[in-house]
Amino acid sequence: MRIVRGAPGTGKTALVFREFKQALAGGREPRIVVPTATLVRHFQHELARDGVICRPRSVISLARFVAELAGEACPLAPPALTRSLIRASLKLLELPAFAEAAKTDGMASVLEETITLFENAGCSPEKLASRALAPRAKAFARVWGAVDKDLQAAGYRSRLAQFRAAISNTLAVNGIPMDLWFDGFIHFSQLEVELLEALGDAGRVVITAGEDPDQTLFDEVTSGVARRPQMTEVAADSVEREADDIARRILELNAAGTPFREIGVAVRDTAVYEHLLRGVFERFGIPARFYFSRALAGHPAATFLGGLIDCALKGWDHRDALGALRADPRMGLSAAFDRFEFEVRERLPDRGVNELLKVASLEGMGDYKRRLADCLAIRQWPEESLRPADWARRMEQLAAKLFLPGRLEPVASFADLDSARSLTAGLRAFTEAVSDVAGLWPAERGLVTLAEYWAVAVQAVREAAYRVPDDRRDVVHVLSSYEARQWDVSALFVCGMTNRDYPKRSSQNLLFPDTEIDALRRVGIPLRRTSELEEDEDKLWGELRYRARRELIVTWPRHDAGGRSVEASRYLAGRDAVEVAQACVPAGGEPNRRGARGRLVSEELLAAVAGAHQQMSVTAVEDLAQCRFKFFAGRTLALRTPPDRPEERLQPKVTGLIMHEALEEWLKSNRRADFVALFEEAFAKACREKHLPPGFRLEVERTFLRGIAAKVSTTEQWQPEETRAEVPFELPLMPGILIKGRMDRIDRMNDTDCVIVDYKSGRTKRVESFTQNKAKLQGPLYALAARETLGLRTIAMMYVAVREDKRFGWGAVPGAELELLPMPEDWIEAAQALAVSRVEDLLAGLIEARPTEEADCRFCDFRDACHVKQDTVQELVQVVGGAHA
Amino acid sequence: MREFTGEQLSAIEYRRLDACVVAGPGSGKTTVLVERYKRLVEREGLNPNQILAITFTEKAAANMKSRLAAEFRGDSTRLRELERGWVSTIHGFCNRLLRENAIAAGLDPRFTMLDERQAEDLRSGCMNSALDTMVAERREEALGLIDMIQAPMFLAGQLKSVYDAILAAGRTIQEVRTVPSPQAGGPDAAGLADILLAIVSQWGDAMLGTPVRRDQKRDLQEWALRLREANGAPFLVLKQVLADCPINLTRIHPDVRPVVKAFRDDALEALESSLVDAETSRHRTLVFDVLELFDELYRRRKTEIGALDFNDLERRAIQMLREHPDVRKRVREQFRQVMLDEYQDINEQQADLVALIRGADQFFAVGDPNQSIYGFRHARPEIFRKYRDEVVGEGKHSAEILHNFRSRAAILATVEALLNSATGIDARQLLPKRLFHDKVEPPVEILRVLATDKDEAPEREARWLAYRILAMRGSLVLSGKDGTRLAEFRDMAILCRVGDAMQPILDALDDAGIPYVCGRRQSFLTQREGLDIRAALHTLANPRDEVALATVLRSQLVGLSDEALLRLKMQGHSLISGLNVVGFDRSRLSGFAPEDAEKLGSFLRNLKRWRVAQAVVSLDVLISRVLTESGFRWQPGTVKGDNVEEFLRLARGRNAGRSLSDFLVELESVEDAASKEAELSDEDQGNRVQVMTTHAAKGLEFPVTMIAAMEREGRKGAPSVSYTPEFGMGLRWTDARAKEKDGLKDTWAKANGDRLKDREEEEGNRLLYVAMTRAEEHLILSYSMTGKSVGGWAKKVDEYFQLKGQPPALEPVIARTGEFAVTARIVDTDPPLLKLERSVSAASVVVMERPEVSGQHDSTVNVTSLVAFGLCPRRYYLQRYLGWTSGRARRFDPEELPEAEDEVADTSAAELGTMVHSILAGEPGAWPPRAVELASVFQASELGLRASRAAKAEREWDFIIDVAGTLVRGTVDLWFQDDAGQVIVDYKTDDISADGARTKAAEYAPQLALYAIALGQSRAYLHFLRPNVVVEVAVGEGAQAAVRRLVRDLGTAQNSLQFDLNVGDHCRACSFYKGMCPAESGGDQEESSVAAV
């Protein structure tokens, strides 16, 4: 066994390639073993492009190499199964040492990590259990032992067992001594060292290593001349500016002749930088390949297929069902489903499949009912019990049957390609996840229910990840700093170079803190201490520092993604030599010119408007008086808002309807009926029809309104000759325009006079404002209607703010103590004139957004669409980039 | 070497026992803490791991860490140790402590932290559930409660506040439930009647000199008898009797008035509250039950998702330290020094925590009771005072650092003048220490704005502030490091007591063109960009949300004309149906104006793509894509840019996997939360005026400080549900029958009300103290008023400087009081119009051209893929490029090609083929007879026999070669070399006839040509095993050139994303034929579409 020792960038990999080629030329079957799959492909490509014709498997990852050596009898358990077994053991053993933490997901993950820690040290559960241990360590040993046993029962081996098998097989591979080069490793665990030693005994083994004096296991050989890329430090105010600056520099490098594929970006904090860089690169038009997995949770496959199974188990709650069905790749984005969704949302909360099918049968749902029936076909599953493997197969079949899109045309861009490939990649990950856990149940366990199986599978789905294939040639490589450490590019960016991530702090193992690790080391279990993990960090930086052939650009933000101050990594020289990130924007993409607004000029459209508005309600006229655009949006375009959420349905609009209904009935009874009883009836009816969810808020509102109802019926101050409720009228406003309305109440005081009453259930203050509001034409228009259609003179018109039983309006009622405003002389005429003028404007095509009462805009449904508050008032530039002075 | 004052040095160097240091504003407290830390490390040899330094805010912790890093720069060992040091907020400390001891704490070791908004959302959900459960399970009781409690619609919110307060005080609901009435044991109605009778009976003739007084006595006696009789009567009866109490102090002899007044104000109110207690006890029980249920639900929910809120951090840390003496001992032994800043702002729970972690005489607390302003977060300045008293009492170290290194003397004098005698303030002299340049005009300015209209007043004041900012900018001389300089916007800050006073100020700054930054500025969600992005997202979620759709169509993202909107609607019966119609039939676009048609067409194409993408790309990437592809550009540093980036940041968030619909719901809670002030990051804010509340200004300093809207009052009165650690939970009730409008207080509410009122007043004074002491060189005290007098902080200013009644004047006057003078502007008109020129300096932003991108073909290609592409590019696209298969999905193999497996109509046939290949590769195994039979067909064939005899033979020989710049991978079933030369063989298990085999061979020809490229000169054969037909395939130069062309064609197709359809007989065997492939026309259009439009 040889070791090629040398500082990073001294040409160790080049030496490996050279020797590999020589061995190949000599008719031998050499192999290069590297730590990651990404590196495998990278090296394979390097060799092929160098004209070397060799078998791809000549370059192999350590994991696969070990698996190959160990043979098929030693398959490694899928991680999802291992985790499931850990959870199951934790649950079964109920270990007091883990207390409440034993019930948590995080605990399973701690145990998994700890198992790896011990396996790397070459320690078996039996060996650990044979030592005197503290209670928590003892508990760990028990769980580990149980998991190990279960793995074997399921036909799998632990990583330790697989290594052991590989070690014992080192001599047996075809009987031919192996030519092996191990390259790209920062550290070898004890287990790996044992393998290397065995391999060294059996064949020719060359290992590359850094200049770490601790690695005394191997012979020292040689070192080349270190590569010295030019290093630039860049500080940015924020992560956004940092990412922008990286994009700028990449574009400059590319413009200067560096192909994108010769540029890499090493990322440590993927949570911050992965999406940020994706977005920024896309915006600047930089093609990039991201070597990261994505969480399966939230993927349409998990949402749709997993959601359907969840729904089947939980009784098809409609809110959940909508979430699942929306992710259906065939019809989840269809117009029919959009309609279906809104229809179901109108009826929430609800559950059950029959109701869903009923909605899908409504007009306008197209073929959705058939599709829905396909999706609901699994509703019988919860009744069944199957063998775990059969459940796995069923779920795979479900996926194969349902998770298929409709017709697919080629995508328009590589961004779209990524989306399209995500679907298939996620689907695979889903089927793998749900089938991997089948091994959790021992063969003798027999049948399990869907609930039992899914409880485990769903956890696997939640934890699973998928990778979207991307093999484009000329792209910037964005990869983790761990993987980037063996990459060979012309220019490498290392972003997020803060003291939080470089070095990354390692926490002590929760079950075996360093003091206990020291004790175990003394008895021959060489576990790694936290400080050793931290030394790996120094080595990692050492590797990254020399990855680029020409340029290394390290960047860091002065403030993290949350705006908090952060310090540069101590690996950096200091702040004196730094460049400051330059603010930049991508060129092109001319903004859309704003289309003509506020005016219709086409004769065809004007005719359409005239045709559509030959009849108007009083409220519509009020809308027009308030704002022409409000009318256009609400009445001409008749824009519809989405259904309210159940908890939001009890709005003033609804309570107003309730009160109006009760009032109508009460007035019909000539005010003799029990108003509170009528109110209760109306309220109950609204609960049913509007699907108002029961609960505290409903009861508070009911109690409050009941109180109002009690007041309304007891505060009548005058006695008319006749009271009429909900009195309809039609009033020609101008030639061709008819106003239609319905007065809440009109009291005929005598043959000539009347009092008009309109009930308002909104806030009293707002009702009060109606008398000052120029756009509120209801009062005078009702008075006009009374005059023109009933021949009555309005001596008083009032709005009753029912919440506080207050009256606001104009005129006077004989015998009643009311504080109304005097009736203006030209009251009716002025309102009529305003209405006519607004209608004339409308017919002439004037639809601009200009509210009469600006304060009322906040109640307008179309306030976001109208753009009255135009593009941001000011564009005052914050000094950015280099202009800090 | 830095110089320290004697006071500072004493604080820095004191070691022996616990210490308590009062550090006034601007006294260099952080410098002292940093120096102390440094000396503990350098001189005492402490490892940073042994020092716990707790600051009040994350910003302060970052600042301290940064200064320590600067102190140790160059010493890599120290820096390494410092990285593991314990400098953080109290929450940061608890977080780390719990993570390192998660098992002892009984927590999920990977617990996540809920931010305030997430916690609030969760709390709201749980509180609503608790209340709904109460209604569902105890309906009658619940309705009774709703009927009785004051403002039941606010009950949920108030109970949440009380819950927080209870936890912050380190109590449990159960403990609070059992807190006795503050006035337990008081007399009942009869007892009270006796007391009154006893008082009245002592009034002799001297007291009753007038008929009125005699009548009063009689009335009181009669009433007392009524009261005695009513003892034990129903609440309403008693309530009425109490309401009828005839006490009229003017009718009573002055000598006995105090006794009667005390009887009325104390004893009677106490009885009333006692009666309320009795009447409402069952409702009170129910409220506690709801709180307990909420507590249970909230805890359970957090456990389910493995999350903690900020309160949990402290609570769980305390619990762990109490229950695990071993951990407590270890922690105490670890920290040889505990330094705590802003000690005046901690609450009981935090005090408990500190007590658990600090060892004997290792505690160093710094604070200033005069700056305790976080009562609303349950801070208790008494804790600091108590500690200071203990330290003094025990002869430990107590010191005061009062030199002020921040403000001009006149500013400090004004602070003392206005506040030294105020309640809640420890009178103290502030000693100016910083040197400033000489200045003629007074550094304190009062802006007293008069108006007749109450809406107009704050707006006018805001305009005056804007005017003063513009006037001072560029003319006010400030002391710089090296001489003097002129004030810039960045030197100025406007502080308000309450956040909702800011809007007129922001409007005025907008109008004047003054750049500013405000933590509470209008949420980006409600600004144009935010509205448009939100509408776009709603449209992506479901375009039937027509308001959102119209918003997008009119927005800068599409820019459709209003005419086009109407035309669109007229295509169907609604906007959305019109859009769908045009989406299906693009010819309809011809009816639109050309510009509109183009915009609409582009939007339709994009909408379809974005909707597909939204399910699989992260939300920030989606938003960025929507904006970019809509031609929308945003520039860093502009308001528009800030708005967009804030949106992107939120979308990026930490919960990156959430769905679009979840995000849209989240946006609503973000909008609600945005009404609270966000802490400004310490990011360089550029040259902008800072606008913030006084609370947010804590710890900051500004050359020019303007305290605005000083007439505004703080919170008045206690809420319907209140809590104080002293008295517990109080409730206010209403009784419709009794027409009690102001509510009935129970005894707890009554006691809380008094306590909270005192506390509010004290804290209000401290808040002003903090606000004024932020100023370095110039302080403006500003307020507006409509009447003759004014309230709030302005009242102090008005009274002290005797401004009340002074007439308005255009020119400022100098108001001189004592030894210093201030400038006073008393104005009743608007200021002269001043407006800053719009200053867009985009020069510092570089515009980058988008690159010409090529080379987007794959690096590698599989031989099988190439064959598939040769047959039908569209099939290749669906099957191998996208990865759709009808068979069982193969595991993704990162070491292999990122392509899907072969498309097979029948999985059993595929398995059979694999098995045959395995047998022929010599793999051992128990193979099914059919596989063995097919394998033997080859073995018995001439080629098979030649192979078995060949000198060299390779089976399943994989390779990777560079063909025309693309790496081609493949696996040769068999090649061998014998005397006749090199032979390549590929076995096929296709179920075809002999004739079919010959046709099929043409399809496979490229595959063999590639093998020949990899292996060199060869003869190549395809052996179709089922019909047992061997076909020789030409693999000469011509065939190799053709396959090279095919590789290039594939690269071209991949580069351009063009995959043509090759319709032919093979389509019938293709599993995509009736599904994803458009080869067969007439499919269900809607079903086959993946987009809605």
Q: What is the ipTM of this complex?
A: 0.93
Q: Where are the alpha helices (DSSP H) in B19-115?
A: 29-42, 58-71, 76-83, 90-100, 102-105
Q: Does A684 touch chain B (CB under 8 A)?
A: no
Q: In what order do the strands lie in the sheet with B721-724?
A: B721-724, B728-733, B744-745
Distances (CA, A) of B289 to A697, B173, B726: 18, 9, 21
Q: Please report the pLDDT score of residue A576 as a whole number.
A: 57
Mean pLDDT, residues A330-336 taken together = 92
Q: What residues does A206 pair with on adjacent strands?
A: A2, A181
- Express each pLDDT in B1004-1016 by its tens digit: 999 999 999 999 8
Dist. CA B607–CA B613, nearest whole Å: 10
pTM of the model: 0.90
**Span B80-91, mean pLDDT?**
92
Of A329-343, A439-453, B291-305, the one with minimum mean pLDDT is A439-453
What's the whole-number average pLDDT of chain B? 88
Lowest-pLDDT range of A875-884, B243-252, B293-302: A875-884
Q: Exposed, middle or buried: residue B524 (CB in 10 Å: 0-12, 13-18, 19+)?
A: buried
Q: What is the pLDDT of residue A203?
A: 78
pLDDT in tens, B147-164: 999 989 999 999 999 999
The pLDDT tens digits for A591-606 are 788 888 999 999 999 9
Q: What is the pLDDT of residue B889?
A: 42
pLDDT band at residue A223 using 50, 70 and 90 as cut-offs: very low
pLDDT of residue B40: 94
What is the distance in angstroms between the Cα of A226 and the nearest Cα belonging to chain B?
A: 24
Most A CBs within 10 A among B141, B838, B859, hence the mutation to make, goes to B859
Tokens for A694?
């029961």
Q: What is the mean pLDDT of residues B583-600?
A: 93
State residue B655's pLDDT score.
Answer: 60
Given a cut of 80, is residue A443 above it in pLDDT? no
Dihedral in degrees, nearest 10, Cα atoms A155, A156, A160, A166 = 80
- Record the tokens describing residue A543, joined without a space: 């590797």
Q: B775 near B704, Cβ under 8 Å?
A: yes
In this prediction, residue B901 carries a pLDDT of: 41
The helix or strand, by DSSP H or E, that contains position B516, with its residue range, turns out to be strand B516-518
Measured in residues, chain B has a length of 1093
What is the number of alpha carbons within 13 Å of residue A705 lying toward its C-beta? 30
Q: What is the mean pLDDT of residues A849-861?
A: 89
Cα(A333)–Cα(B893) distance, rounded to whole angstroms?
Answer: 31
Q: Cα separation of B947 and B939, whole Å?
A: 9
Which residue pairs from B251-256 have beta carbons closer than 8 angstroms and sit at least 24 positions apart in sequence?
Answer: B251/B212, B251/B213, B251/B215, B251/B216, B252/B207, B252/B213, B252/B216, B253/B203, B253/B206, B253/B207, B253/B208, B253/B209, B253/B213, B255/B207, B256/B199, B256/B202, B256/B203, B256/B207
Split at pLDDT 50, 70, 90, the class of B1089 is very low
- Comparing B278-282, B339-343, B920-924, which segment has the lowest mean pLDDT? B920-924
Residues B613-637: pLDDT tens digits? 998 999 999 999 999 999 888 888 7
Instruction: Give Cβ neighbours of residue B63 (< 8 Å, ≥ 6 apart).
Output: A565, B30, B682
Determine, for residues A41 and B895 on separate chains, whether the beta-carbon distance falls below 8 Å: yes
pLDDT of residue A842: 96
Q: Residue B1087: which of A367, A599, A647 has the nearest Cβ?
A: A367
Q: What is the pLDDT of residues A758-810, one digit of tens each?
A: 988 888 888 999 998 889 999 999 999 999 999 999 999 999 988 888 899 99
Query: What secondary structure does DSSP assign to B12-24, as a single string?
Result: HH--SS-EEEEE-
Strands (E), A148-249: 179-182, 204-209, 230-236
The DSSP symbol for A474 reads S
User: Which residues, 6+ apart, have CB-to-CB distance to A270 below 8 Å?
Assistant: A292, A480
- Taking an 8 Å cut-off on Cβ atoms, the answer to whether B637 and A879 are in contact is yes
Question: How far is residue B913's CA from residue B935's CA, in Å, rounded to a whole number?
Answer: 10
pLDDT band at A883 (very low <50, low <70, confident <90, very high): very low
Beta-carbon separation of B616 and A423 below 8 A: yes
Shortest distance between the Cα of B876 and any Cα of chain A, in A, equals 11
Q: Which of B631, B889, B1058 sits opposite A589 (nearest CB)?
A: B631
Share of chain A above pLDDT 90, in %: 65
Q: Which amino acid is at A799?
A: Y
pLDDT band at B674 (very low <50, low <70, confident <90, very high): low
Q: What is the model's pLDDT at position A226? A: 63
Q: Retrieve residue A830's tokens.
A: 């002025």
Residue in B642, B700, B674 with CA at minimum distance from that of residue B499:
B674
**Selected residue of A258, A401, A468, A699 to mutate for chain B interface (largest B Cβ count, 10 A):** A699
Estimate the crossing angle of helix B155-168 against helix B310-323, to 10 degrees. Answer: 40
Residues of B in Cβ contact (< 8 Å) with A591: 556, 559, 631-633
Q: Which residues contact B468 (CB under 8 A, 6 or more apart)?
A: B445, B447, B706, B780, B831
Instruction: Categorize the per-residue pLDDT at A880 as very low, low, confident or very high, splitting at 50, 70 and 90.
Output: very low
Is A585 an interface residue toward B (CB < 8 Å)?
yes
- Nearest in space to B543 (alpha carbons), one of B632, B630, B621, B610: B610
Q: Is the pLDDT of residue A531 over 90?
A: no
pLDDT of A212: 55
Secondary structure tally for chain B: helices H, strands E:
41, 30
**Which of B135, B895, B898 lies nearest to residue A40, judging by beta carbons?**
B895
CB contact set of A710 (below 8 Å; sequence gap of 6+): A675, A676
pLDDT score of B1082: 43
B612 contacts A420? CB cut-off 8 A: yes
Measured between alpha carbons, how far is B1028 from B1041 in angstroms, rounded to an integer?
Answer: 30
Which residue is associated with the tokens 């096929």?
A: B988
CA distance B898 to chain A (A): 5
Contact B648 A241 (CB under 8 A): no
The one-letter amino acid code at B892 reads: F
| pLDDT of res. A10 | 79
Whether B135 sits inside 8 A of A278 (CB atoms) is no
Please, which residues have CB within 8 angstroms of residue A583's CB and are 6 or more apart in sequence? A241, A244, A880, A881, B635, B636, B637, B844, B845, B846
B214-243 as b/e, with b when 16 or more CB fall inside 10 Å? eebbebbeebbeebbebeeeebeebbebbe
* A394-398, A857-861, B286-290, B526-530, range with greatest mean pLDDT: B286-290
Q: What is the pLDDT of residue A225?
A: 57
Strands B19-23 and B51-55: unpaired
Phi, psi angle pair for A26, to nearest 5°: -80, 10
Task: Choose among A238, A467, A878: nearest Cβ to B686.
Answer: A878
> Would the CB atoms of A584 and B878 count as touching at under 8 Å?
no
Contacts of A775 (CB under 8 A, 6+ apart): A622, A625, A626, A627, A852, A853, A856
And the tokens for B460? Answer: 């006018």
pLDDT, residue B742, reads 62
Distance CA A690, CA A668 (A): 24
Measured torsion, CA atoms of residues A143, A148, A154, A157, in degrees rounded to the nearest 10 = 150
Dihedrals phi, psi of A465, to nearest 5 degrees:
-135, 160
- By C-alpha distance, the chain B residue nearest A40 is B895
> Tokens at residue B653, please?
């968030």
DSSP line for B117-182: HHHHHHHHHHHHHHHHHHHHHSHHHHHHHHHHBS-GGGHHHHHHHHHHHHHHTT--HHHHHTPPPT
Q: Answer yes or no: do A276 and B620 touch at CB < 8 A.
A: yes
Question: Which of A416-425, A537-546, A748-757 shows the lowest mean pLDDT across its residues?
Answer: A537-546
By the 8 A CB rule, do B708 and B782 touch?
yes
Q: Which residue of A has its CA nearest to B72?
A: A570
Say what the alpha-carbon torsion angle A363, A366, A367, A368 is, to the nearest 10 degrees. -70
CA distance A655 to A686: 9
More confident residue, B224 or A27: B224
Q: What is the pLDDT of residue B239?
A: 84
B378-433 pLDDT tens trace = 899 999 999 999 999 988 888 889 899 999 999 999 999 999 899 999 998 889 98
pLDDT at A215: 44
- Residue B712's pLDDT is what? 93
Query: For tokens 């753009």, what's the residue?
Result: A867
Out of A155-164, A172-181, A315-324, B852-861, pick the least confident: A172-181
Asked whether the beta carbons of residue A511 and residue B1088 sit closer than 8 angstroms, the reply is: no
> Does B167 score more than 90 pLDDT?
yes
Give the one of A37, A602, A873 whose C-beta lies nearest to B895's C-beta: A37
* Residue B264 pLDDT level (bands cut at 50, 70, 90): confident
Q: Do A64 and B895 touch (CB under 8 A)?
A: yes
Q: Which of A45, A18, A46, A16 is nearest to A32 (CA)?
A: A16
Chain A partners within 8 Å of B959 (Cβ): 53-56
Q: Are B4 and B35 in contact (CB under 8 A)?
A: yes
Mapped onto helix, strand or coil, the DSSP state of residue B501 is helix
Please answer whether residues B870 and B1003 qualify as being in contact, where contact means their C-beta atoms are separated by less than 8 angstroms.
yes
Mean pLDDT, rounded, for B528-544: 94
Interface test with B, best of A569, A700, A769, A805 (most B CBs within 10 A): A700
Q: Which helix (H) or strand (E) holds B243?
A: helix B235-243
- Whether residues A335 and B657 touch (CB distance < 8 A) is answered with no
> A204 vs B1082, which has greater pLDDT?
A204
Among the partner-chain residues B576, B854, B961, the one whose CB lies closest to the CB of A474 is B854
Percent of chain A at pLDDT above 70?
94
Residue A201: pLDDT band with limits 50, 70, 90: confident
Q: Which residues of A153-174 are buried (b: 16+ CB within 10 A; e: fewer)?
A: ebebbbbbbbbbbbbebbeebe
Chain A CB contacts of B624 below 8 Å: 279-280, 282-283
User: Do B513 and A876 touch, CB atoms closer than 8 A?
Assistant: yes
Q: By CB neighbour count within 10 A (0-12 exposed, 13-18 middle, 19+ buried), where does B162 fall? A: buried
- On chain B, the residues whose CB falls within 8 A of the CB of A469 are 883, 892, 898-899
Distance from CA of A38 to the nearest CA of B (A): 7
| For residue B789, pLDDT beyond 90 | no
- The pLDDT > 90 percentage for chain B reads 57
Reduced to 3 states (helix: H, G, I; strand: E, B; else coil), residue B847 is strand
Residue B673, pLDDT > 70, answer no
Give the per-residue pLDDT at B656: 59
**Is pLDDT at A551 greater than 90 in this prediction?**
yes
| Residues of chain B contacting residue A251, judged by C-beta atoms under 8 Å apart | 848-849, 851
Return the pLDDT at A442. Answer: 82
- Contact state of A100 with B106 under an 8 Å Cβ cutoff: yes
Answer positive or negative: Cα dihedral of A443, A449, A452, A458: positive
- The answer to whether residues B901 and B1009 touch, using CB atoms and an 8 Å cutoff, is no
- 100-119 in chain A: CB under 8 A from chain B: 100-101, 104-107, 109-110
CB contact under 8 A, B892 and A429: yes
Separation of alpha carbons B549 and B527, rounded Å: 17
Statement: residue A577 has pLDDT above 90: no
Summarised one tens digit per residue, pLDDT across range B4-43 is 888 898 889 888 788 999 999 999 988 999 999 999 999 9
In this prediction, residue A876 has a pLDDT band, given cuts at 50, 70 and 90, of very low
